[in-house]
Structure 1
Amino acid sequence: MSQTEICEKIILGYFSVRAYVDHLKLLLEYKQIPYTFQSCQKEQLDDGSWQGGLWYQEWRHNLNLDFPNMPFYIEKYSDGSQFSMTESMAILRHLGRKYSLYGDGSIQHMAKVDMLVDVAVELRLIFVNLTYFGDVEKEKSDYFKKTGDKFSRFETFMVNHGADWVCGHRITIADFILWTVLDYNVTLYPDILDPYPNLRAVKSRMESVTQVAEYLNSERFSRFPINSPYANWGGQKK
């Protein structure tokens, strides 16, 4: 593929839930990059188990992916070639490099951005463990303790760095994954960010960006479902 070839189409594929694709859609919407979102539903089998629908039946076999998985990301070029990849965080980092969303570009700053991305992913894992396997009413207090340490450290990090965004005065890929994780948490527990004014502020700042606000109020965005249909919470349309 020549560096001069024009990317004519971007395809982003995932199940019809927010889960591990929401931050990627948010980034593309922020950059106003046209893309096609190709989604499918998980299907429940007669034995009660769940299967990936079109993904399981067709897409994983015919999309020519090196490591078939969801989400997948494909760039189609004017010469008929294409670039494709999978893995949610790898796609996020690719988009960060492609669209200059890695801060000031220094090795040290990019390392900090990557660190914050990984901490946000850890927060998402805590959310997944509760909402798939736990009781969101009985375990609320324990959940606040588990997330509170990382939320507090985000607060301190932002204070120490004088940040408009989570890693300085420039928006980075860390802001997109963090906003998604914060939104999942606020949707579950509306009061969870009350002790964290900087996190509330950076979440609101993202939502006030013109193109993001338009996206969040469009039919392209739906607050539910967040999780797969077999999760204990967040797997149904509301």
Structure 2
Amino acid sequence: MTLVVGYWSTRGLGETIHLVLEYLQVPYERKTYHLNNYEEWLFKDKENMGMDFPNLPYLIDGDFKVAQLQTVLKYIGRKYGLFGSDDSKELARQEEIMDNIRDLRYRFASLVNSPVFEEDKVKYLAALPNQFVISIKRSLTQYETVLGERKYLMGDKLFVGDFFMWHLLDINECLDPTVLDDFPNLARFKKDVESLPQIDSYLKSDKFKKFPINGPFAKFAGATVSREINISKTTP
């Protein structure tokens, strides 16, 4: 049965799902919502999905429908052997990594939507010890240490968090191509993931788009729209 993945016409939060499904070679279709026709999602499909908590990204697997990035990734991971464990401690480590990467992804989103983007970008890319809250490099240092002893984030076996991390690293390299220069283990990890035959093929295909990464209001790599966006349903 072919899965359906719904998301906007940006890399955004949907790309990690695509990466996992491409790696697994699971048949899937994309339901892409274009920002120039945002009403299709907001005022049509969202209200008629038959879901308890409709949101983007979403996954449809037969008569089962679920939304939210982390939930979709874990569902696919459990179904196809890329997430979960009978060992509660190993499962907790997987959950911890997923939550941490999500936090870093939100930090990136906060940066690119900041009204003082250029000022905050300097802090975000700084390696100074006093930049605890915003510096991405301080956080990457933790992963650099972890990957000094492991091939992937959990060891020798891939899990969905590795694809989530690849996405995070790639969009940060789009922001600053030198961001991994001081992190050889992370650079090696990123290369290993994108060198997987299924991922290499996907990244070279027309299905993968490097840009846009973000929505139209972002100060970096935002989608271009040709009309005003107004989410008020009562406004023509």
TM-score in same-fold range (> 0.5): yes
Alignment partners' CA distance in 2, 1:191 and 1:137:
17
Structure 1 window deviating more from structure 2 (128-137 vs 18-27): it is 128-137
Provide structure 2 residue ranges, at least 5 long, that are not aligned to the other structure.
127-134, 225-236
2:29 corresponding residue in structure 1: 36
Counterparts of 2:117 and 2:181, CA distance in 1:
18
Distance in 1 between residues matched to 2:8 and 2:84, nearest whole Å: 30
Task: Name which of 102, 126, 143 aligns with 1:154.
Answer: 143
Deviations 1:1-36 (A, max 9, x none): xxxxxxx22100011011111100000000000100
Q: What is the 5 A alignment of 1:127-206?
A: 127-145=108-126, 146-159=135-148, 162-206=149-193
Alpha-carbon distance, 1:142 to partner: 0.6
Deviation sequence 1:97-120 (CA, Å, 0-9, x none): 111113765221121111111111
Supply the distance in 2 between the matched residues of 1:229 and 1:198 (Cα, whole angstroms).
Answer: 34
- 2:66 is aligned with 1:85: yes
The share of aligned pairs that are identical, in percent, is: 31
C-alpha distance in 2 between matches for 1:9 and 1:57:
26
The amino acid across from 1:72 in the alignment is Y
Cα separation, partners in 2 of 1:158 and 1:14, compared to 1, 3 Å: same
Post-superposition Cα deviations, 1:144-168, rounded to whole Å, max 9, x if no partner, equal: 2311121001111222xx2111121
Structure 1 residue matching 2:59: 3-state secondary structure = strand
Deviation at 1:52, TM superposition (A): 3.0
Q: Distance in 2 between matches of 1:72 and 1:194?
A: 35
Q: In structure 1, what is the equivalent of residue 213 of structure 2?
A: 226
Task: Give yes or no for the alignment of 1:214 onto 2:207.
Answer: no
TM-score, scaled relative to structure 2: 0.87
1:108 to 72, 89, 93: 89
Matched, 1:24 2:24: no
**Could you tell me how far apart the structure 1 residues matched to 2:115 and 2:184 are?**
28
User: Which runs of 5 or more structure 1 residues have no equivalent in the other structure?
Assistant: 1-7, 44-50, 77-81
The residue type equivalent to 1:129 in the other structure is S
- Partner amino acid, structure 2, of 1:235: G
8 Å contact from structure 1 (residues 96, 102) kept in 2: yes
- Which residue pairs with 2:230 in the alignment? none
Match of 1:53 among 39, 60, 74: 39
Q: Deviations over 1:45-91 (max 9, x none)?
A: xxxxxx83210121112221111111110011xxxxx1110111111
The two structures, once aligned, show a CA RMSD in angstroms of 1.6
Task: Classify 1:70/1:103 alpha carbon distance in 2 versus 1 (closer, same or farther; 3 Å).
Answer: closer
Counterparts of 2:192 and 2:91 in 1: how far apart (Å)?
22
The answer (yes or no) to whether the contact 2:11–2:211 under 8 Å persists in 1 is: yes
Q: Kindly tell me the number of residue pairs found equivalent between the two proteins.
A: 216
Residues 93 and 173, structure 1, Cα contact 8 Å, conserved in 2: yes
Distance 1:217 1:105 in 2: 36
